[in-house]
Structure 1
Amino acid sequence: MQRSLKWFASLTTLAMLFVLIGGALVTKTNSGMGCGRSWPLCNGQLVPSKITPELVIELSHRIVSGAAGIMVLILSIWAWRAIGHIRETKFLAAVSFLFLVLQGLIGAAAVVWGQSDFVLALHFGISLISFASVFLLTLLIFEVDKKFDAESLVIDSKMKFHIYGIITYCYIVVYTGALVRHKGASLACPSWPLCAKTRIIPVQLHEWVQMGHRIAAGLLLVWVIAATVRAVKQHKQQFVIYWSWIISLVLVILQIVTGAMIVFTNLNLYIALAHALFISCLFGVLSYLTMLALRSDRQKTESPQSKLSATMK
């Protein structure tokens, strides 16, 4: 496989990470209106005359997102031509670009017309799907050289249940986390893990949003631990499955630790961005496991034995 394509795919994946972190930065610093109600211009100007920190953050995010969009488009076309024979390539190429465009349109609509917090919380999740698609496309490009065997894995039904269930549930956790940010509820509960030292039950909406996310993240940790234990016991010989779950467990723990540190440090910006980074990486790993599980399903239906049994029926 062309080394230049590998490099470009890796850089595009990195660029998409910057888009995700940049979006979190915009939300955390309340910079969404840094350019006013103007898009794609900033305060109606190509070159803004009045520079503020919020303007710099918002405008930088727009520039990075635009550059990433061009890179994703180039990667999609390049991968389509280079490895289009691989079944997943065309689907991932289309999804990565379309969801990035959708993310940009939602962001533009929020600036020009405004949106509710519940709609804005979808913004990060849509960007996450685009990032995961680019990440998977990059892995496909590296897979072509057969540096690691991930095409003929046989995954049992119980492990598939964990994979499909956890990635679906993880997306719900991502939405609840984005809702915490957009609702301004990051510090609604001054204590951790309970909302307050003197009481257990939240008493107002922001506290319920915060505690709902904490409970959802805690359940995600429990489920990932269960899946990792099964991977260690049943899939130790399958290198990709084994290490994917080990990495997933580490990322979940880091995500929860940084979530707690956000409270203890009174919303330290760097910790908050690390919190968004870890959940983004986790979703990428889970997406790869999902692709492997779907491959396993397809291999089972396309195997000679299944075709023979279908013919006999």
Structure 2
Amino acid sequence: MQRSLKWFASVTTLAMLFVLIGGALVTKTESGMGCGRSWPLCHGQLIPSQITPELVIELSHRLVSGLAGMMVLILSVWAWRAIGHIRETKFLAIVSFVFLVLQGLIGAAAVVWGQSDFVLALHFGISLISFAAVFLLTLLIFEVDKKFDAHSLVLDRKMKFHIYGIIIYCYVVVYTGALVRHMEASLACPSWPICSKTRIIPVQLHEWVQMGHRLAAAIMIIWISIATIRAVKYYKHQRVVYWGWIISLVLVLLQMITGTLIVLTQLDLYIALAHAFFISCLFGVLSYLVMLAVRSNYNKQKAQEVSRSTNTVPSMLLK
């Protein structure tokens, strides 16, 4: 049973990743209206009579999202029953399904009634939360074997500050990136890293949106680098924290590289999809670090209770 649950959770996580990449593909190819103002049907037809590339992309995204929704629901119920005794399970099960439904409703509303670019930019972020919840639920299922030290961590205040701050800031960066796509501002600044070879300061809205995203991304790279240095210096003995930050640094650097190549290659589709893939993976890893930080608080409380009962101070609390 446990092996089957692990397999299904892994496939569901992969399906959610396809939902995210599919949404990015719809935006990049401007296929959002591939089925017209009709939802869930295409042009009001069960089987469309006129097939276009935009219709295929939009309809495929809808089908994958629907399939992923059913898989997430099954995983949530299955995990609830199998590992519901683990503290985070029920919360993640609810969040994963609720946010997936929410992103579907926003997508449907955008098709039927239309939405502003600022509202549409929320769509990817909401899908990202659902993906992260499914990803964490999958990791919880694998954690049952206790093959690594995720259950015994106690983090210091500075590390928890980095974890909480970076994931919130990362979400802001994700929103600015989605806004760039929906406002079609990806090539508003044709030069890199400055907006134009002849001037540094943006002069119109699309340029400000593009340069604002670049600046936000640069700050995130610096912040993650600082947190990674701290993890390497103080957390070598705690593998999940140590490798979590190293992986985060690699992913954010790949994110920067693909973001640069999007401009230099004039919106190459595959590079753009890789850009969405790397930020999705980065947010998933950061979400796991957040779960570890929350769990650290619980571990610290337990350690304090033990110390009070034995009149001793655990060494981990002296850090």
TM-score tier (shorter): over 0.9
How far residue 307 of structure 1 moved from its aligned partner, in angstroms, is: 8.4
Counterparts of 2:51 and 2:228, CA distance in 1:
49
How far residue 130 of structure 1 moved from its aligned partner, in angstroms, is: 0.1
Where do residues 152-171 of structure 1 align in structure 2 (5 Å cutoff)?
152-171=152-171
Counterparts of 1:232 and 1:293, CA distance in 2:
17
Alignment pair present for 1:44 and 2:44: yes
SS of the equivalent of 1:300 reads helix
Which amino acid in structure 1 is aligned with residue 189 of structure 2? C
Which amino acid in structure 1 is aligned with residue 81 of structure 2? R
C-alpha contact (below 8 Å) 1:300/1:306 kept by paired residues: no
C-alpha contact (below 8 Å) 2:167/2:287 kept by paired residues: yes
How far residue 303 of structure 1 moved from its aligned partner, in angstroms, is: 3.2
C-alpha contact (below 8 Å) 1:167/1:286 kept by paired residues: yes
Which amino acid in structure 2 is aligned with residue 218 of structure 1? A
SS of the equivalent of 1:230 reads helix
How far residue 262 of structure 1 moved from its aligned partner, in angstroms, is: 0.3
Counterparts of 1:166 and 1:91, CA distance in 2:
22
Query: Residue in 2 aligned with 1:111?
Result: 111
How far residue 154 of structure 1 moved from its aligned partner, in angstroms, is: 1.1
Query: Residue in 1 aligned with 2:258?
Result: 258
How far residue 235 of structure 1 moved from its aligned partner, in angstroms, is: 0.5
Where do residues 79-98 of structure 1 align in structure 2 (5 Å cutoff)?
79-98=79-98
How far residue 306 of structure 1 moved from its aligned partner, in angstroms, is: 7.4
Deviations 1:221-256 (A, max 9, x none): 000000000000010111110000000000000000
Counterparts of 1:261 and 1:303, CA distance in 2:
49
How far residue 149 of structure 1 moved from its aligned partner, in angstroms, is: 1.9
C-alpha contact (below 8 Å) 1:301/1:307 kept by paired residues: no
Query: Residue in 1 aligned with 2:313?
Result: none
Deviations 1:112-154 (A, max 9, x none): 0000000000000000000000000000000001122201111
Between the aligned residues of both structures, percent identity stands at 81
How far residue 300 of structure 1 moved from its aligned partner, in angstroms, is: 1.7
Counterparts of 1:45 and 1:307, CA distance in 2:
67
Query: Residue in 2 aligned with 1:281?
Result: 281
Query: Residue in 1 aligned with 2:137?
Result: 137
Alignment pair present for 1:29 and 2:29: yes
Which amino acid in structure 2 is aligned with residue 68 of structure 1? A
Note the residue ranges of structure 1 that are not aligned, 5 or more in a row. none
Query: Residue in 1 aligned with 2:212?
Result: 212
Where do residues 294-313 of structure 1 align in structure 2 (5 Å cutoff)?
294-305=294-305, 308=308
Note the residue ranges of structure 2 that are not aligned, 5 or more in a row. 310-319
C-alpha contact (below 8 Å) 1:6/1:138 kept by paired residues: yes
Give the length in aligned residue pairs. Answer: 309
Query: Residue in 2 aligned with 1:14?
Result: 14
Counterparts of 1:191 and 1:19, CA distance in 2:
31
Counterparts of 1:161 and 1:263, CA distance in 2:
33
Counterparts of 2:234 and 2:161, CA distance in 1:
14
CA RMSD of aligned residues (A): 1.1
Query: Residue in 2 aligned with 1:228?
Result: 228
SS of the equivalent of 1:87 reads coil
C-alpha contact (below 8 Å) 1:167/1:283 kept by paired residues: yes
